[in-house]
Amino acid sequence: MSLTNVLTAYRRTKAYQDWDYRHGLYGKPDPLLTLPFSRISDWRRWGPLGKYIWRSRRVPGWTRGPEAARLAQASFALPEHAVVVELGSFLGCSAVLLAGARTLRGSGKVHCVDPFDASGDDFSVPIYREIQSGGPTLRSRFEDNLERAGVRNRVEIHPFRAEEAVETWSTPIDLLFFDGHQSYDVVMTTYQAWSPFLKPGGTLAIHNSRTGYRQETHDGSARLVEELIRPPRYENAELVKSITFARKAACASASGPA
């Protein structure tokens, strides 16, 4: 039996599947043992962006694999001095990807909006609390993770809920990433408040939005995409793992109705 067959058989066992489910649900960082290998493969596969894709692997969070690479690429592709807004940062896994790409480009800012208090929808809160328990504050861990990844100077922190932060926001946005509260009502309110700031031609990215996904209090993003992210307002919608990427149509007004 080849090594591949052994690994495939192992992955089919209940023990592995339970471990894998918990690993994903709790946003575990990659195991230390695998890091030297992924460092090489990330570099070979993603070029310079691989450095930040690899650094984000050490941060607990939920942006992994192909969607991590695509998010970094979306940030990298933006014009000079790009304005990126992330709603929901937790410990900085996706912020490292967004800000790493802007570091490589040498300009732009990533605005991270999160109350850093482990609040959110009923499905997520017990998970956030378990990850938070006993350690330093989420805010200080977030900042440490950004420092360690070498991207702190590309990030501006807004320690508020998305619904509050928007009240003082006025800048047109190049890339808007939704990954905060996941309940339908809050996702829709947040979308209505923030999406008018996305520039025509700008990129919308919505995490946890696989079509048909249903989980009480946690399926707001999937329902948002099903209901609103389509032509003529959005073009080129594409699902990568669980993030939907779409381009706001050039003819859509920057401040028109969502």
Ligand X SMILES: C[S@@+](CC[C@H](N)C(=O)[O-])C[C@H]1O[C@@H](n2cnc3c(N)ncnc32)[C@H](O)[C@@H]1O
Nearer to ligand X among residue 193 and residue 252 (C-beta): 193
Sequence letter at residue 77? A
Nearer to ligand X among residue 118 and residue 175 (C-beta): 118
Residues 6+ apart with CB under 8 A from 14: none
Segment (H or E) for 50: helix 50-56
Residue 34 in 3-state DSSP?
A: helix
Q: How far is the CB of 40 from ligand X (least distance, A)?
A: 23
Cα 18–chain centre separation: 24
Q: How far is the CB of 19 from ligand X (least distance, A)?
A: 20
Task: Compute φ and ψ for 181, nearest 5 degrees.
Answer: -60, 135
Exactly one of 49, 82, 87, 155 binds ligand X (CB under 6 A); which one?
87
Could you say whether residue 141 binds ligand X (CB under 6 A)?
A: no
CA distances from 240 to 64, 66, 189 (A): 11, 7, 24
Exactly one of 54, 76, 128, 245 binds ligand X (CB under 6 A); which one?
128
CA distances from 116 to 82, 102, 139, 180, 239 (A): 25, 23, 6, 11, 28
Which parts of 148-167 interact with ligand X (CB under 6 A)? 161-163
Q: How far is the CB of 161 from ligand X (least distance, A)?
A: 4
Mark 232-258 as b/e (b = at least 16 C-beta within 10 Å). Answer: ebbeebeebebbbbbbbeeebeeeeee
| Only segment of 16-24, 31-39, 173-181, 218-226 that touches ligand X (CB under 6 A) | 173-181
Nearer to ligand X among residue 84 and residue 252 (C-beta): 84
Residues 6+ apart with CB under 8 A from 236: 245, 246, 247
Could you say whether residue 118 binds ligand X (CB under 6 A)?
A: yes
Nearer to ligand X among residue 154 and residue 161 (C-beta): 161
Nearer to ligand X among residue 68 and residue 252 (C-beta): 68
Could you say whether residue 180 binds ligand X (CB under 6 A)?
A: yes
Could you say whether residue 112 binds ligand X (CB under 6 A)?
A: no
Could you say whether residue 120 binds ligand X (CB under 6 A)?
A: yes
Binding site for ligand X (CB under 6 A): 27, 61-63, 87-90, 93-94, 113-115, 118-120, 128, 161-163, 179-181, 186
